[in-house]
Amino acid sequence: MHLQSHAKWFLNTLLPTLCKLCQQHSDTDHALCSFCKDSLVRQSPACPRCGEYLPPSVNQVCPYCTPGFFDFDTCHAPWEYSDGLRYLVHRWKFVKTTHLTSALADLLLEGCVTTSDVDALVPMPLHWRRTWQRGYNQCTLLATHVAQRLNLPVKHVLACKVYQAPQHKAHGRQARQLSVKHFDCQHNLKGLRLALIDDVITTGQTAHRAAQCLKQAGADYVSVWCIAKTPKPGAPCASTALDSYSLQ
Ligand SMILES: [Zn+2]
Ligand SMILES: [Zn+2]
């Protein structure tokens, strides 16, 4: 056995790795044990433009977006936002468990296959008052981890101008009413290809407004990279597709 393997075995015996989700001894070197990792639902196949899960029968033509519907060009959301992942993200955002960032960055990166397409990462901003209340902007933490893994710069070029109360997430009509002035960018981004780093994408309207602002500042291309996508209410989602397979 190699010396490094001895050291690893010794450390694992003394300090066994605990799975970040079930808190049991993990059988992997990653943040999640293989059982918990397997329980996450892959958002695949998905529309490359909006990230929505597409049942194979849809034939890759997305019924939820058309060219120009969103100002971002592509969206990578590799996981469905449900159960285990929802629990992890909630702890990370609302219980100050920032050590989960690395595990969540790994999950996000499992979906980003076009990393050479972008020049820099832009974290989705929080209003300064929200950042102050929470103590951190989780998207900045996420962007920093992803940037280190991919050796890309992080650009803090976007500001959020509108304060929303904690735990409030705009849905439906409210989300669609997000004003053009929701975000502000005082930088020249001419010709840049950017990845907008968000945690979870829901209706896509917040990312749409942020991408709109980046493009008005000159960005050529904006891709949204996030950990997960909330399934559209009433639409087929990856987890129900899995259930129907297991019933057959
Ligand atoms: Zn586990
Ligand atoms: Zn779509």
* Residues 204-224: tens digit of each pLDDT: 999 999 999 999 999 999 999
Q: Which ligand is nearest to the CA of 21?
A: 1
How distant is the alpha carbon of residue 39 from its chain centre?
A: 18
Q: Which ligand is nearest to the CA of 43?
A: 2
To the question of domain 44-247 being in CATH 1.10.3210.10, the answer is: no
Q: Which ligand is nearest to the CA of 33?
A: 1
pLDDT, tens only, 11-41:
555 566 889 889 898 888 888 899 999 999 9
User: What span, in angstroms and rounded, lies between the C-alpha atoms of 148 and 32?
Assistant: 21
To which H or E segment does residue 239 belong? helix 238-247
Q: What is the model's pLDDT at position 136?
A: 86
Q: Which ligand is nearest to the CA of 75?
A: 2
For residue 225, the CA-to-ligand 2 centroid distance in Å is: 15
Of the candidates 193, 248, 231, 201, the residue with the CA atom closest to the CA atom of residue 82: 231
Q: Which ligand is nearest to the CA of 73?
A: 2
For residue 53, the CA-to-ligand 2 centroid distance in Å is: 8
Integer angstrom CA distances of residue 33 from 1, 74, 97, 121:
24, 31, 18, 29
For residue 86, the CA-to-ligand 1 centroid distance in Å is: 14
Task: Give the contacts of 83 (CB within 8 A, at least 6 positions apart).
Answer: 39, 41
User: What span, in angstroms and rounded, lies between the C-alpha atoms of 189 and 218?
Assistant: 5
pTM for the model: 0.85
- Could you tell me the pLDDT band of residue 248, with boundaries at 50, 70 and 90? very low
- DSSP letter at 180 equals G
For residue 209, the CA-to-ligand 2 centroid distance in Å is: 17
Q: What is the model's pLDDT at position 176?
A: 53
For residue 60, the CA-to-ligand 2 centroid distance in Å is: 9
The sign one gets for the Cα dihedral 209, 213, 215, 219 is negative
For residue 29, the CA-to-ligand 1 centroid distance in Å is: 12
Q: Which ligand is nearest to the CA of 77?
A: 2
- Could you tell me the pLDDT band of residue 130, with boundaries at 50, 70 and 90? confident
Q: Which sequence spans correspond to the domains of the chain?
A: 1-39, 44-247
Q: What is the model's pLDDT at position 245?
A: 44
